[in-house]
């Protein structure tokens, strides 16, 4: 038992040291990734026109939105807008072609656009649907490509089904209304795009959007109702329409690390990483030594923190909380604390994971579900491999039985009926002598004085029972 505890403690110590090393690696990698991203952005600027930063208001920054609206996109746009403001750019052109995404992320991106010092023009390249519509409405001007569409901004769940919760619909319709009013667009049209329950007569188009329908506009329709300021085929023509064709064009795209982080911060990928991380470490704790499950678990958590760190959601404090949580778990193995250190370790681990995420509530919920699934997975793995060598080499299964000739001590059945002398007073145990051999014995319950004659009444294994001989 002690040997097993020693092995588990050594394993936990190695695990803790590796987690600490990985925490430092995550921070170092994140810093390098950020530096690399800045360098890549600087190189792009230089390639497109090195004079952009040298003269005030002489550059137009072109920023693509050709992906799902999620936290990784927000991080990229924050960097792009920051670079544009630092270069004192004259305009930002958002090239939008997206089917939408997270409503909360779209709201944050809308705030970013409205609060920027650099005016934004949205160029709808193909589709500005759902959250993409909201982002476009926050731009000062909207230019649409022929054949493009905008609208269909009703809130849907993960399966694409409409959400009919009145509070949710009312909130999102209100946000769409405010975005439209911010730049003088008809707010009723925006509400009709978001709320299936609204009925609106579109006199400019000679039609009516009935209840149960969701409004979507083509480029020509959007121009008629004031939701497109211009219709043209390219970004270059859009820039020329604004009278900025002589400005330097700077195209900003996601760096390699931002693309990776964008993938790693997707909710479904985070959920898988949680399962692999928890299950891997749990299985590793069931098996002495350090193997594949532990490595997989630590890599999963490392990827999680890397993605959140590069995306700008996780700070140093999140990683420190996670590492401290592991350290508290290790201390629980060495220091008796009646579970207090373990509980603090859980709180610290959950805190580290939650504060690193874009949406703390969603992260905690995903972590809870992942813990349940990981526990089931670990239990299944433990059951499947219970009789295989990876487990049995740590379990003593040999048995030393009497049938095989093994005895714990010599049995003396031949002493039964033999006579001897009490060498010590038996109270009721003591020492007797039979045939010159000293033997430990007990009485049947009475006291026998030293020097009295005794006889062995029975032998039970190594237990010799005597009584006093009566003359």
Residue ranges of domains in the chain: 2-19+258-392, 59-246, 409-468
Given this model, what pLDDT does residue 56 score? 44
Distance CA 64, CA 55 (A): 24
Q: Provide the pLDDT confidence category of residue 287 given band limits of 50, 70 and 90.
A: low
Query: pTM for the complete prediction?
Result: 0.62
* Residue range 295-332, pLDDT digits in tens: 788 788 888 888 887 776 777 778 778 878 777 776 77
Cα gap 215→17, rounded to integer Å: 57
- In tens, the pLDDT along 361-372 reads 778 888 888 888
CATH class of the domain comprising 409-468: mainly beta
Distance, CA of 453 to CA of 468 (rounded, Å): 6
Mean pLDDT, all residues of the chain: 81
HSE, CB side, 13 Å, CA atoms: give it for residue 192.
19
Beta bridge partners of 62: 93, 251
Give the pLDDT confidence of 377-387 residue by residue, as tens digits: 878 877 776 65
Class of domain 59-246: alpha beta
Predicted pLDDT at 228: 95
Cβ-Cβ contacts under 8 Å for 88 (sequence gap 6 or more):
53, 56, 57, 59
| 175 alpha-carbon distance from chain centroid | 30
Q: What is the mean pLDDT of residues 337-342?
A: 76
């Amino acid at each position: 038992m002690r040997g097993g505890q020693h092995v588990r403690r050594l394993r936990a110590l190695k695990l803790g040291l590796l987690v600490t090393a990985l925490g430092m690696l995550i921070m170092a990698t994140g810093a390098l990734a950020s530096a690399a991203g800045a360098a890549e952005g600087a190189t792009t600027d230089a390639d497109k026109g090195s004079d952009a930063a040298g003269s005030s208001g002489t550059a137009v920054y072109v920023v693509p939105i050709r992906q799902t609206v999620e936290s990784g996109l927000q991080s990229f746009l924050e960097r792009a807008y920051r670079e544009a403001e630092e270069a004192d750019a004259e305009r930002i052109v958002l090239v939008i072609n997206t089917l939408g995404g997270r409503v909360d992320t779209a709201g944050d991106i809308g705030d970013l656009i409205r609060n920027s010092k650099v005016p934004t023009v949205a160029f709808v390249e193909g589709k500005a649907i759902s959250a993409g519509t909201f982002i476009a409405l926050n731009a000062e001007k909207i230019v649409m490509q022929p054949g493009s569409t905008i609208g269909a901004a009703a809130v849907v769940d993960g399966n694409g089904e409409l959400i009919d919760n009145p509070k949710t619909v009312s909130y999102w319709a209100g946000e769409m209304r405010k975005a439209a009013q911010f730049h003088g667009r008809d707010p009723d049209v925006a509400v009709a795009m978001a709320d299936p329950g609204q009925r609106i007569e579109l006199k400019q188009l000679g039609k009516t959007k009935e209840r149960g329908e969701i409004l979507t506009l083509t480029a020509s329709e959007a121009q008629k109702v004031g939701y497109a300021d211009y219709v043209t085929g390219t970004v270059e023509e859009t820039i020329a329409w604004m009278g900025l064709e002589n400005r330097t064009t700077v195209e900003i795209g996601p760096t390699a690390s931002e693309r990776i982080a964008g993938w790693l911060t997707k909710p479904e990928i985070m959920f898988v990483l949680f399962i692999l991380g928890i299950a891997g470490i749990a299985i590793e704790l069931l098996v002495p030594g350090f193997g594949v499950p532990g490595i997989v678990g630590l890599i999963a958590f490392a990827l999680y923190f890397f993605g959140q760190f590069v995306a700008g959601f996780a700070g140093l404090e999140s990683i420190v909380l996670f590492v401290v949580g592991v350290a508290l778990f290790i201390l629980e193995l060495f220091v008796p604390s009646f579970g207090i250190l373990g509980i603090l370790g859980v709180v610290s681990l959950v805190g580290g994971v939650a504060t690193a995420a874009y949406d703390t509530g969603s992260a905690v919920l995903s972590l809870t579900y992942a813990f349940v699934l990981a526990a089931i997975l670990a239990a299944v793995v433990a059951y499947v491999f219970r009789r295989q060598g990876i487990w049995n080499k740590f379990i003593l299964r040999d048995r030393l039985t009497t049938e095989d000739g093994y005895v714990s001590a010599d049995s003396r059945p031949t002493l039964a009926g033999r006579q001897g002398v009490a060498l010590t007073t038996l109270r009721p145990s003591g020492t007797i002598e039979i045939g010159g051999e000293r033997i430990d014995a007990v009485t049947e319950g009475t006291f026998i004085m030293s020097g009295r004659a005794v006889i062995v009444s029975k032998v039970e294994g190594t237990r010799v029972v005597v009584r006093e001989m009566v003359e």
